[in-house]
Chains A and B, each alone.
Chain A
């Protein structure tokens, strides 16, 4: 089988050498309006990936097909498209343009001038992600991405980040976009063993990123077929450019703090509240305190809520060298990043190295290799829902000391586990080795035709080690150890042929045909043991008993895909594009092995029309529309199969059918998306922007239908439900001042409305999150809290007829909130004057609700001895008291069932990033033998404005599993970090 496949690959390669044709070398110099050479300008042959960067003096040399067209682009300048014709020297003068309208953008299997793109695409550049003190690049682009919401969920370093491109389009399958790094789809979903996800994208060094392109609508993403419904994020890493070798050194160092803290009772308040709670129930307070191991006469006042947190540190060392000549270009980098988290015990370190190499063997034949290696070590913070989660220390009574005065060690006699002991006597570490690689060969056999073949691999090795010595909670009397090795090898080959031609001067056609194959294999081996001789022994080998967590497993999937795309432009103003993809996957049911996807789009560059061509106000106007069909194949590897599983019977092993009956018809989820977009530029692009409206209708949602047990099965998974997302995205860029003093503003805002349109049966989590027809995914559904009865202090709930009841069982279950924001967005103001630059990024989220699912413990008017939030002091005390906090009643469950009592508004506005930099004048820099030098101070999450009274409004606990509908729940979830750093970059 393998041979047959290899054979076909060889065919593709042979093909590469079948024909030769004439090419020509074009040289030239790119200058700015004043005629001085522009270094680093991209000169690209249209429709290909053949391109170079200009050298320090603006010169370039590029081998192209006859009649090729060059796209000359550089950030900050208008892109120019120049037909080469019979010229061999092409000199270009670029006009300044600080908007991004005419950048070349990366698209699936190629690149395109932004002005000719007919899909909805957001592209970010390296400067958005460089030197931001976050672990992974997605955290750095928050607030900069219209149509894409990014939620970090918690302040734990290296943990999974939730990204939604134009809303959630699945109930049970993944909602995360497809990530493609340098053309290769990578492992982007958690592979670890904990309920809470790690983020495999943290292994990509953000400083190596050249650009991030988010494909949002069907026109841009359908080329990725069955994996495009959640959007596609294309990451391109930096490459070397022809010219003088550049050496860059970077360093930053800083400190971090929690963004926000929650207030809890002090000892005096605690004693007062719980004495009252006991009295109200007729208990003797002192006795009840004692029964729970508390001393009512204790003079301790321990601020436990401060214990989970500390001052963190960040530091990064970064070196990169890039350059090259006409034949060979290179980019080398190495970075070491060290972040000590704000949560005790949490630390993340990453060392990475990369080499991106590109060589022209002949004028027609190019070869390239991108290779990176990353090592990361993450000292993890446990699951939010574990007693070992440091944030749960806030539940400990302030009258119990942290240090036991008798032993002078950490107090073991606390109400709940004093998990600081875990940090002293254990380890919870996840380490990865990661390599992204891509080997490619491109060849131009004849004029206008480029054949490219690439093979890439994403190798991920995750290594989790958990050790809890004897004397810790998990360690029990003898100690507990767990070790888990996960290896994910993901390899892909893409083979494409691109034909690009212009005929009769006005007609430009680009045709792409391709074949792709991807295979991913995951192997996991774990060992678990109990019974360690003493705490010096930390590996499972030393454990007396190897327990049931010991296992080895393997799983995998494959995709075989054929795709094509045709772009047609008439006079650069009428644009037409169509793409198709046929995907086969091992994941799809036997009766549905292959699916067809595709999209069509049109564009009209109105400003190219005669009547607008020389308009002094409006300089650019484009209208575009697209419609297409994509899929979501993240349905699990064997969901369609009926399976027999191994089951143990004492020391024998048997088999039995799974409780889910196989469904050979099972397939991907389908999304049909229509998009209408308008791009504009006024006053020489002083004001420019983009507006998109879209509608995404997803059908064939994968849902589980319960089956009658009496036939031997529990459920069947079927493609039955449907949902839709509708939305509006606006991006507006202005250059307010454009002289010596420059001030520009980038603003974006996105509205998305999600609605479940058809569902087999409502899905309700154990908390408030649920899925219901006619409501957005994750809608909060449960009892509606009606406050406190002023007469007697009883908690009240709304009954079905709208009256109130003090019986939780009489409460009517209803919609009590919505975790999905009405709108999200960001605003960036950038100022520069002389060598100074200042940028301020504000991020906002409005209209969402948060459910604090820990409220039943921590804000429960003294129901049990957990320390209470400060607002519980407002409890009802006397008849006539008007308050929202019921009478304190020990053990009585007065208002302590899950309800809207702990639902609050989650809107916030955050100063996400503020950076002030100073670039030394070149004369000064050169005195220190440097070409350039910049020093800066930067603050991340500097200020947060919100009415949320928990820790941080950007919260999404992963403690209860990663169900798509459990969003906006808080559960002892640590807040994000506020980081302030100083840094320096020196170029030689």
Chain B
């Protein structure tokens, strides 16, 4: 009896240990709506998807989908636009009562750094891309997007770059290492100087402008990188370099102004744009609480009508200037439509594409740089090219001043995320509309976004901006 028992016990043990061996792999269950990060970028196809993911990220509502366009406008809203909505984060920005817990300041910071890490992961994964053309293109796209993010961060979270100085004021933390592990994700980086951040931006863009193809569909091409480079140099007041880049884009990109400005926003990927965020009815930056059309428009049941265009600003357009007339500026018919308040017609449908860089800006950069270099005739041609497209009268040489050029930028690029950045680089103070008007120095601390409190709480190496 006993032997039988021991025999069967032995077999039980054997079968249990067999089970052990056989069952280890029963524990390998893979997620199906996601893929494991350790192998996510292990093939060329996956890296291709990750590059698409980069564009998806910059189109999010914290980046070009909403905030990178809206926030620079709200930060210099005086005499221009009025924020009527209930969102405290936007109200604070428009009223200059921003604190370090502002949701937009936190959102932009988070999304930009998340995108930067994505770009770093793509660059890190390039060795698996074996198709030569693709490898260069992906590297170019990743560098372009990384540069765009650092440029936006340094413009928003640091004091303005001042040409001719060392620019040792604090910029933002630079991280070029792909972060994959909990240990890497716990590193506490410190802020680099503004000079260092701009250097990084220019390095990436310069490399991107050679890596990227001349034509890259609706994505960033060689000329998109150069157009952004022109914008970066302009922000540094490096007009010569800005003029060179803008000129190159205008001459060689094959882009041309669309027949109307309206069509740049209602159409998709028109001949004018160098970069557009692609959206459709299903996938967009939002239709309820986020998204440019949500916040700007007031059309029947659509839109919150949160951003009102002030009449004083609308009146700056000439009577025949299409940019100041319906549909580009219209009287709202939906939310907040009482008393005939004006709205911008640049953002009217949830699924429309969002132009980020367009050729008109290049003309305006080239005009400004030419004017500053004393080349009035060239400047005049470029300015008038932009004006005549919208039916505004042409300017004459005597009418052309730096002020008219900057005003033209304002009229052409209104609501596209340029305002505070232009005021900062030109040192133009903000004047409130109250009586008596108050002058807000453009170098004020409140005109720089706070480093999110959550971030300074977690990372003692991050120095908060003055005033927060």
Enumerate chain A interface residues (CB-CB to B < 8 A). 1, 4-5, 7-8, 11-12, 15, 18-19, 21, 445-447, 449, 451, 497, 499, 513, 515, 517, 519, 547-548, 553-558, 560, 562, 584-586, 593, 637-638, 641-659, 661-663, 706-714, 716
Cβ-defined contact, B110 with A653, below 8 A = no
- Evaluate whether A708 and B53 lie within 8 angstroms (CB atoms) in the complex, with A446-B4, A593-B27, A657-B117 already known: no
- Chain B CB within 10 Å — which of A8, A447, A645, A708 has the most? A708
Q: Is there contact, CB below 8 Å, between A654 and B113?
A: no
Please name the residue on chain A nearest to B39 by beta carbon: A644
Q: Which of A7, A643, A655, A707 contacts B458 (CB 8 A)?
A: A707
Q: Give me the 8 closest cross-chain CB pairs, A-B, nearest first.
A: A712-B117, A654-B52, A642-B37, A654-B53, A650-B278, A644-B40, A656-B53, A649-B56
Taking CB atoms, residues of chain A closer than 8 Å to B38 are 642, 662
**Cα(A490)–Cα(B120), bound, Å:** 41
The residue of chain A having its C-beta at the shortest distance from the C-beta of B284 within the complex is: A650
Chain B residues, CB < 8 A from A655: 35, 40, 46, 49-50, 52-53
Total number of B residues with any Cβ neighbor in A under 8 Å: 79
Inter-chain contact B15/A12, CB cutoff 8 Å = yes
- Contact check, B8 vs A18: say whether CB atoms are below 8 A apart: yes
**Complexed CA–CA distance, A497 and B54 (Å):** 56
Please, could you name 10 A-B residue pairs with CB atoms under 8 Å apart, sorted by A?
A: A11-B19, A644-B35, A647-B56, A649-B283, A651-B278, A653-B49, A654-B56, A707-B458, A711-B185, A712-B185
A115 to B14, CA, bound (A): 35
A644: B residues at CB distance < 8 A: 34-37, 40-41, 50
Most buried by A among B27, B41, B120: B27
Which of A446, A647, A658 counts the most B-chain CB atoms under 10 A from its CB?
A647
Nearest-neighbour CB distance to chain A for B356, whole angstroms, equals 14
Interchain CB contact under 8 A, B185 and A661: yes
For residue B7, CB closer than 8 A to chain A, the reply is yes
Q: A711-B175, A711-B179 are in contact. Are A584 and B49 (CB under 8 A)?
A: no
> Which residues on B sit within 8 Å (CB–CB) of A556?
29
Q: Does B403 contact A (CB under 8 A)?
A: no
When the two chains form their complex, are residues B455 and A709 in contact, meaning their CB atoms are under 8 A apart?
yes
Select A446's contact among B8, B11, B16, B26, beta carbons within 8 Å.
B8
- Given A19-B8, A513-B16, decide whether A555 and B110 contact each other with a Cβ distance below 8 A: no
Q: A645-B34, A650-B278, A654-B50 are in contact. Are A709 and B114 (CB under 8 A)?
A: yes
A603 to B405, CA, bound (A): 93
Whether B180 pairs with A15 at a CB distance below 8 angstroms is no
Q: How far apart are the CA atoms of A8 and B121 in the complex, in Å?
A: 43
Q: In residues 177-207 of chain B, which contact A (Cβ within 8 Å)? A: 179-182, 184-189
From A445, A584, A656, A662, residue with most partner B Cβ within 10 Å: A656
CB pair B278–A8 under 8 Å, yes or no, is no
Interface contact A560-B26, CB-CB below 8 Å: yes
Which A residues touch B59, using CB under 8 A?
Answer: 649
Query: Within 8 Å CB of B189, what residues of A?
Result: 708, 710-711
Inter-chain contact A710/B459, CB cutoff 8 Å: yes
CB distance from A441 to the nearest CB of B (A): 15
Task: Report if B31 contacts A (CB, 8 A).
Answer: yes
Residues of A within 8 A of B187 (CB): 711
Report which residue of B12, B54, B113 has the largest number of chain A beta carbons within 10 angstroms of its beta carbon.
Answer: B12
Q: What residue in chain B is nearest A645 (Cβ atoms)?
A: B34
Min CB distance A760 to B, Å, is 12
Q: Check if B224 is an interface residue, CB within 8 A of chain A.
A: no
Given the known interface contacts A656-B57, A710-B173, A712-B179, the answer about A11 and B15 at a Cβ–Cβ threshold of 8 Å is yes
Asked if B83 CB lies within 8 Å of chain A CBs, one says no
A19 contacts across to B, CB distance below 8 A: 4, 7-8
Residue ID in chain A nearest B153 by CB atoms: A710
Q: Are A5 and B26 in contact (CB under 8 A)?
A: yes
CA distance in complex: A663, B184 (Å)? 12
Q: Which residue of chain A lies nearest to B38 when distances are taken between CB atoms in the complex?
A: A642
Does B182 contact A654, Cβ atoms closer than 8 Å?
A: no
The answer for the CA separation of A558 and B7 in the assembled complex, in Å, is 31
Dominant secondary structure of chain B at its interface with chain A: helix
11 further A-B contacts with Cβ under 8 Å, apart from A517-B19, A708-B189, A714-B110, are A11-B14, A637-B31, A643-B31, A644-B37, A649-B55, A654-B53, A654-B56, A656-B50, A657-B37, A658-B34, A709-B455
Q: Which residues of A contact B415 (CB under 8 A)?
A: none
CA distance A708 to B106 in the complex (A): 11
Docked complex Cα distance between A11 and B13 (Å): 11
Q: CB distance A1 to B25 under 8 Å?
A: yes
In the complex, how many residue pairs between chain A and chain B have their CB atoms under 8 Å apart? Answer: 240
Query: Known contacts being A709-B455, A716-B182, is A18 close to B11, with CB within 8 Å?
Result: yes
- In whole angstroms, what is the CA distance A144 to B349 when docked? 60
Known contacts A586-B28, A649-B55, A661-B185: does B40 contact A21 (CB below 8 Å)? no
Output the least CB separation between A958 and chain B (Å): 23
Does B280 sit at the interface, judged by CB under 8 A? yes
A562-B16, A584-B23 given; A643·B32 CB < 8 A? no
Which residues on A sit within 8 Å (CB–CB) of B1? Answer: 21, 446-447
CB closest residue in chain B, given A716: B182
Cβ-based interface call for B118 (8 A): yes
A150–B278 Cα gap in the complex (Å)? 52
Assess the A445–B57 pair: CB atoms within 8 A.
Answer: no
| B279 beta carbon closer than 8 Å to chain A | yes
B339 within 8 A of A: no
Is B12 within 8 A of A21, CB to CB? no
- The smallest beta-carbon distance between B364 and chain A, in angstroms, is 28
**Chain A residues within 8 Å of B455, by CB:** 708-710
Cβ contact within 8 Å between B27 and A649:
no
The contact of B51 among A499, A513, A584, A654, by CB within 8 Å, is: A654
Complex CA–CA separation, A661 to B187 (angstroms): 13
Chain B nearest CB, measured from A720 CB (Å): 12
Tell me the complex Cα distance, A447–B458, Å. 66
What is the CA–CA distance of A643 and B30 in the complex, to the nearest angstrom? Answer: 11
A711 to B106, CA, bound (A): 14
**Interface membership of B132, Cβ < 8 A:** no
- The docked-state distance in angstroms from the alpha carbon of A586 to that of B50 is 27
Q: Is A15 a contact partner of B12 (Cβ separation < 8 A)?
A: yes
B315: CB under 8 A from chain A?
A: no
Q: Which of B255-302 contact A (CB under 8 A)?
A: 278-280, 282-283
B349 vs chain A, min Cβ distance (A): 13
- Please indicate which of the listed interface residues A519, A662, A711 has the most CB atoms of chain B within 10 Å of its own CB: A711
Chain B residues with CB under 8 Å of A586's CB are: 27-29
Determine if B439 is an interface residue (Cβ-Cβ < 8 Å): no
In the assembled complex, the CB of B268 is this many whole angstroms from the nearest CB of chain A, namely: 9
Whether the Cβ atoms of A643 and B23 lie closer than 8 Å is: no
Residues of chain B from 440 to 468 with CB closer than 8 A to chain A in the complex:
452, 454-455, 458-459, 462
**Least Cβ–Cβ distance between B5 and chain A, in angstroms:** 6
How distant is the Cα of A15 from the Cα of B185 in the complex, in angstroms?
A: 52
The reply to whether B35 and A652 contact each other, CB–CB distance below 8 Å, is no
Q: Which of A447, A451, A712 contacts B118 (CB 8 A)?
A: A712
- Please measure, in the bound complex, the distance between the C-alpha atom of A112 and the C-alpha atom of B32, giving whole angstroms: 43
Task: Tell me if A642 and B31 are in contact (CB < 8 A).
Answer: no
Contacts of A513 in B (CB 8 A): 12, 16
Question: From A447, which residue of chain B is reached at the shortest CB distance?
Answer: B1
CA distance A662 to B182 in the complex (A): 7
A657 x B15 contact (CB < 8 A):
no
Cβ contact within 8 Å between B110 and A709: yes
Contacts of B51 in A (CB 8 A): 654
CA distance A546 to B27 in the complex (A): 37
Q: Which of A21, A557, A642 has the most CB of B within 10 A?
A: A642
Residues of B within 8 A of A18 (CB): 7-8, 11
Point out which of A12, A517, A644 has the most chain B C-beta atoms below 10 A from its C-beta. A644
A590 to B94, CA, bound (A): 49
Which residues from A are CB-within-8-Å of B185? 661, 707, 711-713, 716
Q: How far is the CA of A427 from the CA of B282 in the complex (A)?
A: 26
Q: With A649-B59, A654-B53 in contact, is A515–B19 under 8 Å at CB?
A: yes
Contacts of B458 in A (CB 8 A): 706-708
**In the bound complex, what is the Cα–Cα distance between A449 and B50 (angstroms)?**
59
Do A642 and B180 contact each other (CB < 8 Å), given the known contacts A11-B15, A555-B31, A712-B116?
A: yes
